[in-house]
Structure 1
Amino acid sequence: MTAELKAWVTQPDAFPPPEPDWADAGIALGTLHPNGDAGGDYPLDGRELYRGTLQTIARVRRRLCGQRRDEPLIWCDLDRLRCSYYAPRLPPGTWLQEGAYWAPLGLLNDVRFRSRGDRFVRPDAGDKPFTGQVVRSGYEAGDLEIIRRQAPPETLCVVADAQEVTDEYRAVVRERIDGGCEVVTGCRYGSPTDDDVEAGLPDDVADFLRDVMEGFHGVGDPMFVADAARLADGRVKVLELNGLSTSGLYACDARAIVDAAKAAVRDWYA
């Protein structure tokens, strides 16, 4: 197989704006269509990295993988993007939901939640059938019913104490071939009260993620996305991990991402 990344193939409108300016990233660009087809004026003697919604990426897997000598690169290993996979591998005390328990959605009921304060419920899976939601103290029955309408009862859920988050950050991470991971670039992408996007990471967030990722052994792909949250008391925690192929990258540095991806392809697929 050719160990050279030649094209960056993205599904238009798949991710919330803004997206990095890929036109200046030093790579040929292609378009991924919702049906899984791809097109663009790029070389066919190398590898393409595909980015799109989970549904579109699933179609690409079915249509293209195993059909070509140089399979398209899809960096989204959903089996390893489960909280139950990566959370135990993070350094102790660094995951936002540390102290959580896991239970099927159908077994969560208002009696179990009563008198425990506000609780946060999210799916264990990386391809989340619903986004994480707070079950409010005193409103347990109604809040849980809203969640139950969005997913089947066997959906494994993470249940933890609700915490006040003031800012959320996204970092692109590369796994080194010799072990451990490194942060490539990052940005602020909002908070529960605003959608303001700012390029770069504050020093304390960058330092935190660098220390956490230094000894982390990845999620099965050469690159992935790590989200961090700042709490009301100033602490920074890992919010979740996601696939590079299925995540918006907001104001992250396009050139840094592509350069790291090219190096990762040479390392991993030579």
Structure 2
Amino acid sequence: MTNLFDLTGKVALITGGTHGLGLAMAEGLGSAGAELVVTSTTPSKLEEAIKYYQSKGFKATGYIFDVTDEKIAAEKVAEIEANHKQIDILINNAGIIKRVPALEMEVSEFRKVIDVDLTGPFIMSQLVARNMIKRRSGKIINICSMMSELGRDNVVAYASAKGGLKMLTKNLATEWAKHNIQVNGIGPGYFATSQTEPIRVDGNPFNEFIISRTPEGRWGNPEDLAGTAIFLASEASQFINGQIIYVDGGILATIGKPSNE
């Protein structure tokens, strides 16, 4: 049974895999035996991440490029495939968020979020799928969000992109399943990362809201995503396609706890 989850000999490309949830998922794949190829737009962060992965005993390499630049991305994917023979697993994790009320958001800001969070995954999936189709084998995992399903104040561009990413996942699965490529998504809930640290303090209303809204009564830990990433990257998920697995402690399963509890 454990062989179903073994990624030994597989090459996993993780965009934006230098910190937070991307780092946790990459670490999970590395622990399952995958060779890690990580991208970033920030050299210092990439260097630090590669050192961290290598300190864990993982084989890891980094590449600097912007996933929204189609020409550069094509050149880098070709370079990665030349250096590592092939890409077996793609995790489209790179993303940004701009917290601005809809009436105040510049159109240029909206377009930037859509470009990184939705167009970037399309570009990378298209580039990587070409050789996956030739080999008749591949796993693509898009990092969606609870905002793929729900709205929230001040994240209109992010929610629009993540809703689109859910449908991109389903459409790519529809087109590429016949080539033995599985395209699925992970929808993280609220996780304890460096980005959320300022609001995860006792007494902060949002911290209290998330804990009360989550049936498990806590924020997720980044390592909580590792198992789902391994599952969707491995042979264990061979007949799963076009699905979004929400790792959210049960938030989407409930309308919330009664106020008198």
Q: What TM-score bracket applies, with the shorter chain setting the length?
A: 0.3 to 0.5
Task: Pick the structure with more helix per residue.
Answer: 2
TM-score normalised to the size of structure 2? 0.35
Q: TM-score, normalised by structure 1?
A: 0.34
Q: Identify, as 1 or 2, the structure richer in strand.
A: 1
Larger Rg: 1
